[in-house]
Amino acid sequence: MINRPVIIFITGRFGWVDRQHGLEARATTRVLSLADQFDYIDPGPLIDGELELVPAEEAWLDAVMAAQNHPLTREQMPRDADIPRHKQLNFLSRLEKGFDPGDEDGPQSPAYYFWMHRRGAVEYPIVGAISLRLGRGVNIERVVGHIGYHVYPFARGQHYAERACRLLIPLARLHRLIPLWITCNPENIPSRRTCERLGAEFIDIVPVPPNHPLHACGEREKCRFRL
């Protein structure tokens, strides 16, 4: 009989401990089993100063569309700027509280989707988006990563991506995402620096498979960081 280490994750609204990142909150509700490690967990408020992560829901869609239509977004992120409202609504229709349960027998893994909300901002309150994908496999670990994010050009320079990632790390650990993989395009220097500031280890640069949807969008390589 082989003795294996046991890791127990206590879950609840704030039931997590992440000593590596100096974060701790207390609650005692249930033990997260292997069977339900990809089920939705209420993360509670995700706030760092003026930055708040809000679940992707239709109530925020007008603010998202405004951010997409900002002149700097249209100039520097044309692919994102051109996403029409009906496609956003179709995407949101899959979610409940910003959570997509995924396809049981398909390629879509369970994932949380949040928008970065700049609290107190009257104009352009949505400054970006971040997602947390649950699961393993080649697509997550070598191409898209567990965490994906973008910050709109008009809101850059405030470390919103790094701060948003730090807010999600405890939730990722609750779901047993150890290690946590983050990828970015090699030429995206700000994103690479974000990973470095998070303490993630650069592993390698790998090709995007020719049959992958990102390859059709012109993305050819991904830097892989392990956290």
User: What is the DSSP-derived secondary structure letter of residue 2?
Assistant: -
Q: What is the pLDDT of residue 12?
A: 35
Domains of the chain: total: 1
Q: Which pTM value belongs to this model?
A: 0.84
Nearest by Cα to 182 from 215, 152, 149: 149
Give me the torsion for CA of 179, 181, 186, 188, rounded to 10°. Answer: -120
Residue 186 belongs to domain with CATH number: 3.40.630.30
Residue 52 lies in a domain: yes
Q: What's the rounded Cα separation, in Å, for the pair 201 and 199? A: 7
Instruction: Output the pLDDT for position 185.
Output: 96
Residues near 178 by beta carbon (within 8 Å), at least 6 away in sequence:
none
Question: What pLDDT does residue 11 have?
Answer: 34
Q: How confident is the model over 111-127, as pLDDT tens digits? A: 999 999 999 999 999 99
**Does the pLDDT at position 44 exceed 80?**
yes
Please name the helix (run of DSSP H) or strand (run of DSSP E) that holds residue 74, with its range, or none.
helix 71-76
**Does residue 131 lie in a domain region?**
yes
Is residue 140 one of the residues assigned to a domain? yes
Task: Examine the pLDDT at 28 and tell me if it is beyond 70.
Answer: no
Higher-confidence residue of 87 and 106: namely 87
Domain that holds residue 186: 46-226
pLDDT of residue 105: 61
Position 186 pLDDT exceeds 80? yes
How far, in Å, CA of 78 to CA of 150, rounded?
13
- The H or E element containing residue 18 is strand 17-18
Structural domain contains residue 79: yes
pLDDT at 137 over 60: yes
- Residue 19 domain-assigned? no
Report whether pLDDT(16) > 60: no
Within a domain: 16? no
Across the strands, what pairs with 183?
224
Of the chain, the percentage scoring pLDDT greater than 90 comes to 78
23 lies in a domain? no
Report whether 171 contacts 43 (CB < 8 A): yes
Q: Does residue 106 register a pLDDT over 70? A: no
Percent of the residues in the chain that have a pLDDT greater than 70, as a whole number: 82
Question: Per the domain annotation, does 6 fall within a domain?
Answer: no
Q: What is the 3-state secondary structure (H, E, C) of 89-111?
A: HHHHCCCECCEECCCCCCCCCCE
pLDDT band at 63 (very low <50, low <70, confident <90, very high): very high
Tell me: pLDDT of 201 over 90. yes
